[in-house]
Structure 1
Amino acid sequence: MTVSRLGVNIIMEPLPRGMKNMRITIKDIAQRSGVSCSTVSRVLTNHPNVDPKTRERVKQVIDELGYRPSRIARGLVMGQINVVALIIGDIRNPFYAELTRAVKDILNKEGYMVVVSDSDYDPQKEEIYIRAAEEYGFAGIIMITAMETEALIQQLEKLRCPVVLLNRYLPSVETDVISVDNYLGGYLAAEHLIKLGHRNIAHLAGFKNSSATRDRLRGFIDAHVHYGIQLNQERIVYGNLQMEAGYKFAKEYLSQNEDITAVFCGNDLMALGLIEALYEEGKEIPRDISVIGYDDIDMASLARVKLTTIRQPQYEMGQTAAEVLIDRMKGKIGAPKRIIFTPKLIIRESTAEYKPGK
């Protein structure tokens, strides 16, 4: 077959038997074009030092063979690939699912592939994923979970690719941070319960070495101070942000502390687990005990008792984190950004006014 392109007649031989089902390589293109592999590489990278007629001949062979260059292989040669690592704490948590969707929507539009890694809130896994991202030449990293450890801090300080912390921050690490005002969120939760007349309020918090947990706890404590209410420190218990933690808290802790009239949970999943256990114990929500969560995942409004909670603008946070990372990957320099969103109290059915002697 003879093909004419830009006045150049190119004689194309039929493909050898079986080649259509084989992975085409640069070597195959070079052999059929009658040029060296280095010339084919220069054509693929649009290098100017290629004769126009030779470039046309190589391009025609590429079209005829249906060759598609490997972005990963090319990226490894160049030292970086258009892949972003997204490290999350728990892939089962709907809160992370919405953040992940937002991050992928934005990055995919810009030609980046997103690799999602589930750390199970394990600092060692976080360190492994970061190390892998750097070794494979990933373009950037977004961490939705960042457990504050000395090893992680040292690792992030040495990274050569940009990193954005989403819904977390590390005080000693200078990097871009996208988060919600977790201090205000904790304050709003406690204030809501206090204004309903509750005085014996427990807090089922998240992980101790999480900035989000610490900030929500500070807000929770300061609301008590502001309203002149004595807070029993034994009422602060730490959980793993999963439903089972809330379930266990209700079965083991609340059953032994029946004077508690309200609970602020560090996320919606623990709140939902707590409510389930309370119903098993014959309790009514909110008649016997008020419960407030944090995040406002879809399940919060679909539970048997619609959950009062603190809403985070999940999609907007993920979108902003991706946009900031894209700027950094494109070489935009400047002081680290700290973008803080405002949480909102969403009042539903799981909280009510405290009535003595109920």
Structure 2
Amino acid sequence: MRVTVIDIAKKAGVSQSTVSKVLNNYPAISEKTRDKVLKAIKELEFYPDLIARSLVSKKSKTIGLIVGDISNPFFSEVSKVVITNAREQEIDVIISDTDYRLENLEWAIRNMIGRRVDGILVASVDRHDTITTDLEKKGFPIVLFNRHTDDKGTPYVVIDNERGSWLAIDHLVKLGHSRIAYISGSLNFSTFHQRYEGYKKALTDHDLIIDPGLVYSGNTDSLEIEKFLRKILFNKNPPTSLYAATDQLAMIVIDLLTKIGFDVPADFSIVGFDNIDIASNPHINLTTISQNKQKMAELALKKLLNIINEDNDDLPYQIILEPELILRSTTRSIRENN
């Protein structure tokens, strides 16, 4: 049978209220009494009823984390950062994967609120979503990170995606590339939309033509991307480089180019975005844009906990981090190819 506070009190020879005070870290308990209670807890293998405690304290010490696709290395890596940092503060994390579908986001939010989470972090949201904004307006603690909505009515922590794209294109242009293709997921997400805007701005700033034929956005299935690559690589004026809006897409492109018969970077330079852990693997060594995912996740968690605890918040309502170009070996000067 489940061990109760009554059992602990009998074992330690103290009152139930004393046990409750020890469990809730009340300061006005002698060390001797505290030690007796803790010893009884250990011997009886007592596990506190967190649900019951949350009903009293109005806090569950649990938060929700909603990501787009947990199999995507970026989302798994930021999830690990959130979980590790939350655990250090004795906070549990419930994770849900939306598979980038609105109905799954709605279900995840309903489910988490039903489980009495204290607040929710959302790492993937559609630009036109109103669910998270409505929740924030109702006073429920919610913070977006990685992506945000167009109305920007919710606290968020993101990278300057437009600037990141500009750095990627600027790097390729300095290497002599003027025909630069762009591949991304749906522009309904702020990350891809802003990275596309940065791509166009960088081309314009360098007096280069924006060729719609070199742009792909939408379904990130490898078969669709392969169709696009074969279309642009074998026309009269093919690109010499490609900027992928995520590292995951960049690695798909590298695999496909190898399959088609090209070499990276000898035939084709590639730049990604995210700087996921595997990007630095010596067999990949991907040139990419870092969005400092660890700092982003840490700040998002800190922001959410400040809102939950109603602490004096020294963080801006919305935070935009600076990107960084990480140079590795998937880009090469055109002059080296000649």
| 2:289 matches 1:310 | yes
Partner of 1:111: 90
Counterpart in the other structure of 1:16: none
Alpha-carbon offset, residue 274 of structure 1: 0.9
TM (normalized to structure 1)? 0.79
Unmatched runs of 5 consecutive residues or more in structure 2: 27-32
Q: What is residue 349 of structure 1 aligned with on the other side?
A: 329
In the TM superposition, residue 71 of structure 1 has moved relative to its aligned partner by 0.9
3-state SS of 1:81 partner: coil
Superposition map of 1:228-243 within 5 A? 228-240=207-219
List gaps (5 residues or longer) in structure 1.
1-21, 34-38, 49-54
2:23 maps to 1:44 = no
| 2:101 is the counterpart of 1:122 | yes
CA contact (8 A) 1:308 1:346 kept: yes
C-alpha change, 1:94 and 1:40, in structure 2 (3 Å) is same
Give 3-state SS (helix, strand or coil) of 1:294's partner.
Answer: strand
Q: 1:193 aligns with which of 169, 172, 195?
A: 172
Equivalences for residues 82-93 of structure 1 within 5 A: 82-93=61-72
CA distance in 2, matches of 1:25, 1:86: 31
* Structure 1 residues 347 and 43: CA distance shift in structure 2, 3 A: closer
Q: Secondary structure at the match of 1:257?
A: helix
Deviation at 1:173, TM superposition (A): 4.5
1:138 is the counterpart of 2:117: yes
Q: Given the superposition, is the C-alpha separation of residues 161 and 195 from structure 1 closer, same or farther in structure 2, using an over 3 Å criterion?
A: same
CA change 1:68–1:305 in 2 (3 A) is: closer
Identity %: 31
CA displacement 1:174-212 (0-9 Å, x = unmatched): 332111111101111121222222222211012221111
Over 3 Å counting, the alpha-carbon distance change for 1:210 and 1:303 in structure 2 is farther
Change in 2 beyond 3 A, CA 1:71/1:153: closer
Q: Secondary structure at the match of 2:118?
A: strand
- Counterpart of 2:259, as a letter, is E
Aligned 8 A contact 2:5 2:20 in 1: no
Query: What secondary structure is seen at the aligned counterpart in 2 of 1:328?
Result: helix
Distance (Å, rounded) in 1 between the aligned partners of 2:264 and 2:204: 27
Which of the numbers 317, 320, 333 marks the counterpart of 1:337? 317
**Map of 2:279 onto structure 1:** 300
Larger Rg: 1
Q: State whether structure 2 residue 229 is matched by structure 1 residue 254.
A: yes
> CA, structure 1 residues 137+93, in 2 after alignment: closer, same or farther (shift >3 Å)?
same
Q: Does 1:169 align with 2:159?
A: no
Q: Quick check: 1:285 aligned with 2:264? A: yes
- Compute the RMSD of aligned alpha carbons: 3.3
Q: Write the letter of the residue equivalent to 1:344.
A: E
Does structure 2 conserve the Cα–Cα contact (< 8 Å) formed by 1:285 and 1:305? no
Match of 1:100 among 79, 86, 101: 79
Partner of 1:215: 194
- Give the distance between the partners of 1:295 and 1:148, measured in 2 at CA: 19
Task: Determine helix, strand or coil for the equivalent of 2:65.
Answer: strand
Give how far 1:143 is off. Answer: 0.9
* Cα deviation, residue 27, structure 1: 7.4
State the match for 1:203 in structure 2. 182
- The amino acid that maps onto 1:106 is N
TM-fit CA distance, 1:60: 10
Q: Determine if contact 1:127/1:155 at 8 Å carries over to the other structure.
A: no
Q: How many pairs were matched up? A: 323
Candidates 255, 258, 265, aligned match of 2:244 = 265
Query: In the alignment, is the contact (CA less than 8 A) between 1:271 and 1:291 conserved in 2?
Result: yes
Secondary structure of the residue that 2:334 maps to in structure 1? coil
1:129-182 alpha-carbon deviations (Å, 9 max, x no partner): 111121221011111111234452454345543111111122324332111111
Mapped partners of 1:248, 1:319: distance in 2: 35
> Closer, same or farther in 2 for the Cα pair 1:32/1:290, shift >3 Å?
closer
- Comparing 154-163 and 179-188, the one that deviates more: 154-163
